[in-house]
Amino acid sequence: MPSPDTTPNTAPLSVRAFQQLIRDRYYATDSARGTGGTFLYLAEEFGELATALAANSRRNKPPTDAERENLVEEFADVLAWVATLANIHDVDLADALEKYTDPSRVEGVKD
């Protein structure tokens, strides 16, 4: 039987819990690296996501299983690095996202 550390968690993960997970695992090295170095990692992952999206949009058919798996991984990596930057700057992403749930703050759409 797997130990509690290795048992996969299938419960939905809140934004706050995800950010805390990233903080618990990586804050010491992320904060030591600082904003500049961390932002470069985010930029790298953002570029990898862009490449994965572009590869899938060039064809007019659904992604293969491997391409889909890569897309999922790249989205996760981008979110993790955004959470890392938020942690370094003491920004609670769950609070920040209230911008999109408060009807008085949500205005218009982008084309």
Q: What's the CATH number of domain 34-98, 1.10.287.1080, 1.10.3720.10, 3.90.280.10, 3.40.50.1220?
A: 1.10.287.1080
Nearest residue to 81 via CA among 36, 45, 29: 45
pLDDT digits (tens, 9 = 90+) for 61-82: 788 899 899 999 999 999 999 9
Higher pLDDT, 6 or 37: 37
Note the pLDDT tens digit of each residue in 18-27. Answer: 999 999 999 9
- For the chain, what is the largest distance between any 2 Cα atoms, rounded to a whole number of angstroms? 52
DSSP 35-95: HHHHHHHHHHHHHHHHHHHHHHHSSSSPPPHHHHHHHHHHHHHHHHHHHHHHHHTT--HHH
